[in-house]
Amino acid sequence: MVTAESNSYIKLLQRFPPRPIKSDIELLAAQEVIDNLLNSNEMTLEEQDYINVLGALVHEYEEKHVPIPDLGGVELLKALINEYRI
């Protein structure tokens, strides 16, 4: 049985089907979808589930392809300042 809730989840899936991320362009597209949903006023449970799926795909890609330097102390502060232009 298809409910209004499952129908809204299906619409999210149709708009941006979750797939394994294979490039930085696909990563940016997934992050944009996540950001747009997070910026909405109140998320439904279906939107939260959908974000969890996309988030898992983003995490998987980043674990394999985005190096995270081991920073501490002053180096970490400098990186944060540069990142956020404080």
Tens of pLDDT, residue by residue over 31-47, are 999 999 999 888 899 99
Contact 83, 69 (CB under 8 A): no
CA dihedral 24, 62, 28, 43 (to 10 degrees): 160
Predicted structure pTM score: 0.74
pLDDT at 56: 97
- pLDDT tens digit sequence for 53-84: 999 999 999 999 988 778 888 988 888 888 88
